[in-house]
Amino acid sequence: MERTTHLSPYTSHHQTTTKHHPYSDSGGTETCPDDDKWASKLLRECAQAISDKDSGKINHLLWMLNELSSPYGDCDQKLAYYFLQALFCKATESGQRCYKTLVSVADKSHCFDSARKLILKFQEVSPWTTFGHVASNGAILEAFDGETNLHIIDISNTLCTQWPTLLEALATRTDETPSLKLTVVVTAAMVRSVMKEITQRMEKFARLMGVPFTFNVINGSNKPLGKFTKEELGVQDDEAIAVNCIGALRRVEVEERGDVIRLFRSLNPRVVTIVEEEADFTSSRSDFVKCFDECLRYYTLYFEMLDESFTPTSNERLMLERECSRSIVRVLSCDDKHNIGYGDCERREKGNQWCERLNELFSHVGFSDDVVDDVKALLKRYRTGWSLAIDQTDPNSNSNSGSGILLAWKDEPVVWASSWKP
């Protein structure tokens, strides 16, 4: 289908990894003009200084960044602010404490209403999350075709916003509505606290749709995800299983990711759908500057995307940015060994990296043409800037035998979605 186009006005480059200026025609960017990218310069210098342990320079740069940054300013100022926080923690080795504080602050101001409002608004203005949902739902529905006893293991923190459309599709697609059991494994603390409300809403909605529905929530933060058993997940032999993993693999500690994939395999699912954000914070774990660069690149994209998708005074955007700050602190200044909690890792990997892991036990299933069309139709409903790319790891193959599809923002791949079968 679509390949990453090089004719688009958004890009004049081919490399994507080290870029933090994804589009060179600054005419289109009101908030972050090219010639003003002081933040990334300073930030990188500071990261380098920290890596070099040049304390004089560190202090100087931290001071400068502190003066110039603001969480309420433009993109640069915001990036400066949030990355400054992480750099400071790194320099003072207070990452863990800072992270815990950030988390507890967020927790206190968090409730079902605000969480719901946040995620729904985000989904309204940006396909960042809905992209993965549509692709996954499509793959799941196709894999479940003809089955009557469905069981989806949902390992995600998207507050179940993926499932209403799936329920609706189940209800209307055939005369024989199958029964659905949904087991949600929740790792993020903030999501856990609202799961009661979510449970209630989902069950009600399923009743509405006329889909026989069972809903279970499993606390995924007590132990490593890979240590869960089939029984704990409630998997039964007569069920058709699908594993839906949205933004969850990255939360597993790097060393344990293999375990998780083995767990998936042991459930013998019809389909495994994986959606992850396209960034690599893992392979550069030991190299602070490299990791920092990648972090900066990715979050610059994200912040710019948020900036252009939301209104300038949006509170939701502010909250999303704050969420990022926790991730940034976590990745850059928290030592993984500290084990702050299960399910908090945030070290992303890129699609091809996940593929390597998954290829051991699974084989990739391309999204069908219909699903791809659905995704394209979805993207059309949003503002311009979004496009679909097929994973380029195998450029010789025809459209869908690549290893997934990518959502691209201004031609930069940002979210990767794929589906697998044993």
**β 179-186/386-390 pair status:** unpaired
If one asks whether residue 234 binds other proteins (CB under 8 A), the answer comes out as no
The 186-205 contact track toward other proteins, x by CB under 8 A, reads: ----------xx-xxxxxxx
> Could you give the string, one character per residue 88-127, with x where binding to other proteins holds by CB under 8 A and - elsewhere?
----------------------------x---x--xx---
- The reply on whether position 157 binds other proteins by CB under 8 A is no
Query: In the set 210, 222, 287, 393, which binds other proteins (CB under 8 A)?
Result: 210
Q: For the CB of residue 99, give the shortest distance to other proteins in the complex, in Å.
A: 29
* Closest separation in Å from C-beta 173 to other proteins: 6
**DSSP structural state of residue 384:** T
Is 233 a binding residue for other proteins by CB under 8 A? The answer is: no
Shortest reach from residue 133's CB to other proteins, in Å = 9
Report 376-415 residues binding other proteins (CB under 8 A).
Answer: 376-378, 380-381
- Cα gap 175→353, rounded to integer Å: 41
C-beta atoms surrounding 178 within 10 Å: 18
| Nearer residue to other proteins within complex by CB, 29 or 387 | 387
| CA 268 – CA 270 distance, rounded (Å) | 7
DSSP 8-state symbol, 277: E
Nearer to other proteins, 117 or 357 (CB): 117
Task: Locate the DSSP E strands across 4-157.
Answer: 149-156
Q: How far apart are the first and last CA of the chain?
A: 25
User: Please, are residues 241 and 267 in contact by the beta-carbon 8 Å criterion?
Assistant: yes
Q: How many residues bind other proteins, per CB under 8 A?
A: 47
SS3 content of the chain, % helix, strand, coil (to 5): 50, 15, 35
Which residues ranging from 332 to 361 are in contact with other proteins (CB under 8 A)? Answer: none
Residue closest to 298 by CA, chosen among 314, 313, 280: 280
Instruction: Determine how many CB atoms are found less than 10 A away from the CB of residue 227.
Output: 13
Binding site for other proteins (CB under 8 A): 116, 120, 123-124, 130, 134, 137-138, 141-142, 161, 163-165, 167-169, 171-175, 177, 196-197, 199-205, 207-212, 370-371, 373-374, 376-378, 380-381
